[in-house]
Amino acid sequence: MSEKVILIDDAGWGDLILGVVIGALKPPDCRYMERRIPVSSFQPPNFENKKYLDDALKIAEEIVEVLQPDRETNFKVCSGYVLSSIRRHLRERGFKVEEVKVTGELQEKVERGYIRWCKKMGVPAERLEDTRRFWTFLEWVAERPALRERLVKTGWKSWKEKWREKAGLRIIQNGNDKKA
């Protein structure tokens, strides 16, 4: 008898724009679902309050509801921080949970889900070809910063202290226009 497994992975955590896509795959029938944590969860004040972890918890509940695991199901969950609340929650509910490095089919599906989201938000396909996209995204935001900053994970300390200015954004303080 084969092991009952549900695999969970994420994409977008380290990317400058948008939120995170979380995907779950239940072999052998390859039932797949994905959900998104919105970029607003990575912007002030939500980022500081770690709203993305609460969002991940809600996704964990949906995974259980949709994929219907039983007590024999072993969840193999990527080791990423954004999935830490999922791992903890599933354990608390009595499921077996293993922290793993996800590769293969699920990783590809979740990555494609993140790429589709980027395209939907206007990122040109050619900018999405490399998996190391930080500079590409920063350049893209810098082309129209006032319009595209709303897609950025602005809760990141590095965005506020360094990258926002590199993207050419200005702020108005006391009626004076100055660099961010």
> CA angle, 78 as apex, 74 and 83 as ends, to 5°?
100
Separation between Cα atoms, residue 36 and residue 61, nearest integer Å: 14
At residue 154, the pLDDT reads 92
Mind listing the pLDDT tens digit for each residue in 81-110? Answer: 999 999 999 999 999 999 999 888 999 999
Q: What is the pTM of this model?
A: 0.88
Mind listing the pLDDT tens digit for each residue in 104-136? Answer: 899 999 999 999 999 999 999 988 987 788 899
> CA angle, 50 as apex, 24 and 157 as ends, to 5°?
115
Q: Which residue has the higher pLDDT, 38 or 162?
A: 38
Burial, 40: exposed, middle or buried (Cβ in 10 Å; 0-12, 13-18, 19+)?
middle
Confidence of residue 177 (pLDDT cuts 50, 70, 90): very low
Q: How far apart are the first and last CA of the chain?
A: 60
The tokens of 97 are what?
Answer: 């949970």
Domains along the chain with CATH numbers: 1-168 (3.30.420.10)
Over residues 139-161, the mean pLDDT reads: 91
Q: Confirm if 15 and 45 have CB atoms less than 8 A apart.
A: no
